[in-house]
């Protein structure tokens, strides 16, 4: 078995493992919400699919600290930059693709399934970066001059800080405003219904119910489990209306949708440069509401569905901050009302989630950025120091002991090889790779000044200097292997 085969087998195993865990977690969550697996729900305390979405931004901060501690300031910065670029590219591309596919997905699959599709980055990037950035080279390299990249990073970082800080400040201000203009829900009938629904859904942690005079639609706030508050507008609801409203909000709480909103707004700030990401986030937030509509109305008849649609229409309003609400603004009401009234049976889509998760593992870490374009002569000091030893191997083995074991054909005319390689241009790849592997492709092995080693593949060059980590370069044009072999 070659190193490349082993690397892809490991990635394939990891893809199947994550996809299986996601499929199992999704099915168990669905069953727990629909009357089964109550012991699983009681053990977890919620029906979140696999991981709570809030783990996504938390782990990114932990990775930053970890990489600085493990690799030092310089290499740590490279790893962090690689992660940030990879996540930005994947989230932007994935959300954009999902945005265009969403009309088809909504037509054939349940709202809970559509809402879960938006969480794929959570399940993908919770894992350590080195597990999906395995030892294979990237599929594509984008060259951006270092000065331009620095400018883009400054602009992106400033935008991220401003947008996400504004979202947090706006949320805190809104929560404070809600508390200031609210009072406990002292209606005994409403409180009894609230406690009954909580018990029915096996939610035994405290959730406060209050009336608020500055809102027009019911909503729930609270990032911590034991500090959740559901606010109702200062108006009178019928018994049927109150039951629908309270059930909708309790399902948001049961799914930790407040944390999902935080994750989505974080992704919004992360991909703020991409205009379609803004549209995708709005659609994702709509799917959270649609999925709660779906579970509330799972056994409802035509009349109850009609009543719920009227309730959405009369309680239209905007949710601000990291909050969930019964009814959103008018731009999404038409679709929600149509979905509510018709209530067509749709597929659960567990297999499709499995496939998307597995494919995502293979897509992550496959695009890298490169800067610092220079000639191979300048990078290796070829003309100044000369190639002291070189050889070509065709079996894909690039182990540094290849010269001792006779696994490559020695290059006798190192002067011509030096002249040939000196004119090539190469871009330094920002992503980190422990070792590059190949399979049944020619590999040029060389030693410069009896110190630095280099390996050249079709489009890549890896440079190893004792005491330093390997550096990967992307050649701007492929080498001519027939000409190189002619130097042997």
> Cα–Cα distance between 97 and 347 in angstroms, integer?
21
Task: Tell me the average pLDDT across 86-90.
Answer: 86
Q: If you compute the radius of gyration of the chain from its CA atoms, what whole number of angstroms results?
A: 28
Confidence (pLDDT) at 434: 52
> Cα–Cα distance between 290 and 21 in angstroms, integer?
25
Confidence (pLDDT) at 137: 63
As a whole-number percent, the residues of the chain with pLDDT over 70 amount to: 85
Could you tell me the pLDDT band of residue 400, with boundaries at 50, 70 and 90?
A: very low
- Specify the DSSP element, H or E, that contains 227: none
DSSP 33-84: HTT--HHHHHHHSS--SSS-TTHHHHHHHHHHHHHHHHHHHHHHHHHHHHHH
> Cα–Cα distance between 374 and 369 in angstroms, integer?
15
* Higher pLDDT pick, 43 / 234: 234
276-280, 325-329, 385-389, 458-462: range with lowest mean pLDDT: 325-329
Q: How many CB atoms lie within 10 A of CB 113?
A: 23
Confidence (pLDDT) at 329: 56
Confidence (pLDDT) at 205: 86
Q: How many CB atoms lie within 10 A of CB 386?
A: 15
Q: Given CA atoms 344, 348, 352, 356 in this order, what sign does their dihedral have?
A: positive
| Distances 403 to 130, 390, 392, 408 between C-alpha atoms, Å | 30, 8, 10, 7
Whether the per-residue pLDDT at 169 is higher than 90: the answer is yes
Confidence (pLDDT) at 333: 62
44-58, 154-168, 194-208, 310-324: range with lowest mean pLDDT: 310-324
Nearest Cα neighbor of 436 from 340, 368, 344 is: 368
Could you tell me the pLDDT band of residue 327, with boundaries at 50, 70 and 90?
A: low
Whether the per-residue pLDDT at 99 is higher than 80: the answer is yes
Task: Tell me the average pLDDT across 94-120.
Answer: 94
Query: First vs last Cα of the chain: how many Å apart?
Result: 28
Confidence (pLDDT) at 134: 46
- Token code pair at residue 431: 């992503």
Task: Tell me the average pLDDT across 230-235.
Answer: 91
248-262, 324-338, 357-371: range with lowest mean pLDDT: 324-338
Whether the per-residue pLDDT at 131 is higher than 50: the answer is no
Confidence (pLDDT) at 437: 52
Average predicted confidence (pLDDT) for the chain = 83
> Cα–Cα distance between 230 and 325 in angstroms, integer?
9
Task: Tell me the average pLDDT across 7-19.
Answer: 84
Beta bridge partners of 464: 453
Query: Cβ(178)–Cβ(221) under 8 Å?
Result: yes
Could you tell me the pLDDT band of residue 4, with boundaries at 50, 70 and 90?
A: low
As a whole-number percent, the residues of the chain with pLDDT over 90 amount to: 33
Nearest Cα neighbor of 487 from 387, 342, 374, 404 is: 387
> Cα–Cα distance between 487 and 401 in angstroms, integer?
21
Whether the per-residue pLDDT at 176 is higher than 90: the answer is yes
Beta carbons within 8 Å of 13's beta carbon, 6+ residues apart: none
Confidence (pLDDT) at 299: 80
Nearest Cα neighbor of 288 from 113, 462, 71 is: 113
Whether the per-residue pLDDT at 214 is higher than 60: the answer is yes
Query: Cβ(118)–Cβ(156) under 8 Å?
Result: no
- Token code pair at residue 127: 């894992």
Confidence (pLDDT) at 172: 93
β 182-184/443-448 pair status: unpaired
Nearest Cα neighbor of 138 from 441, 432, 464 is: 432
In this predicted model, what pLDDT tens digit does every residue of 27-85 receive, in sequence order? 999 988 887 766 666 666 788 898 899 989 888 888 888 878 877 777 777 777 777 88
- Token code pair at residue 233: 């507008």
Confidence (pLDDT) at 201: 87
Confidence (pLDDT) at 438: 54
């Amino acid at each position: 078995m070659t190193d490349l085969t082993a690397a892809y087998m490991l990635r394939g195993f990891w893809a199947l493992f994550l996809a299986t865990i996601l499929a199992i977690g999704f099915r168990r969550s669905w069953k727990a919400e629909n009357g089964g697996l109550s012991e699983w729900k009681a053990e977890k305390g919620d029906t979140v699919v696999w991981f709570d979405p809030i783990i996504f931004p938390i782990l990114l901060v932990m990775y930053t600290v970890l990489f600085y501690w493990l690799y030092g300031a310089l290499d740590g910065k490279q790893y962090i930059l690689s992660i940030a670029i990879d996540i930005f590219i994947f989230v932007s591309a994935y959300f954009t693709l999902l945005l265009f596919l969403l009309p088809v997905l909504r037509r054939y699959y349940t709202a809970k399934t559509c809402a879960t599709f938006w969480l794929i980055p959570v399940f993908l990037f919770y894992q350590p970066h080195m597990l999906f950035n395995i030892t294979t080279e990237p599929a594509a390299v984008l060259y951006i001059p270092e000065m331009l990249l620095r400018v883009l990073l400054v602009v992106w970082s400033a935008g991220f800080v401003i947008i996400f800080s504004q979202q947090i400040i706006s949320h805190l201000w809104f929560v404070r405003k809600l508390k200031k203009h609210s009072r406990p829900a002292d209606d005994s009938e409403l409180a009894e219904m609230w406690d009954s629904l909580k018990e029915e859904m096996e939610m035994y942690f405290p959730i406060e119910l209050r009336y608020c005079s500055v809102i027009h639609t019911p909503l729930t706030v609270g990032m911590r489990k034991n500090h959740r508050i559901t606010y109702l507008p200062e108006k009178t609801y019928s018994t049927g209306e109150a039951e629908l409203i309270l059930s909708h909000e309790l399902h948001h709480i049961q799914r930790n949708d407040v944390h999902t909103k935080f994750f989505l707004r974080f992704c919004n700030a992360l991909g703020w440069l991409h205009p379609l990401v803004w549209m995708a986030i709005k659609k994702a937030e709509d799917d959270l509401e649609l999925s709660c509509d779906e579970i509330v109305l799972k056994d409802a008849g035509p009349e109850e569905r009609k009543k719920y649609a009227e309730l959405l229409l009369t309680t239209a309003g905007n949710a601000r901050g990291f909050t969930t609400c019964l009814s959103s603004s008018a731009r999404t009401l038409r679709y929600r009302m149509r979905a509510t009234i018709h209530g067509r049976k749709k597929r659960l889509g567990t297999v499709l989630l499995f496939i998307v998760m597995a494919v995502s593992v293979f897509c992550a870490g496959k695009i890298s950025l490169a800067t610092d374009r220079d000639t191979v002569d300048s990078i290796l000091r070829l003309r100044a120091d000369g190639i002291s030893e070189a050889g070509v191997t065709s079996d894909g083995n690039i182990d540094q002991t290849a010269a001792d074991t006779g696994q490559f054909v020695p290059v006798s005319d190192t002067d011509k090889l030096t002249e040939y390689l000196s004119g090539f241009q190469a871009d330094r790849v920002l992503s980190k790779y422990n070792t590059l592997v190949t399979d049944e492709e020619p590999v040029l092995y060389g030693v410069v000044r009896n110190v630095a080693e280099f390996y050249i593949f079709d489009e890549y060059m890896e440079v190893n200097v004792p005491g330093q980590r390997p550096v990967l370069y992307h050649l701007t044009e492929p080498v001519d292997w027939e000409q190189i072999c002619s130097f042997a």
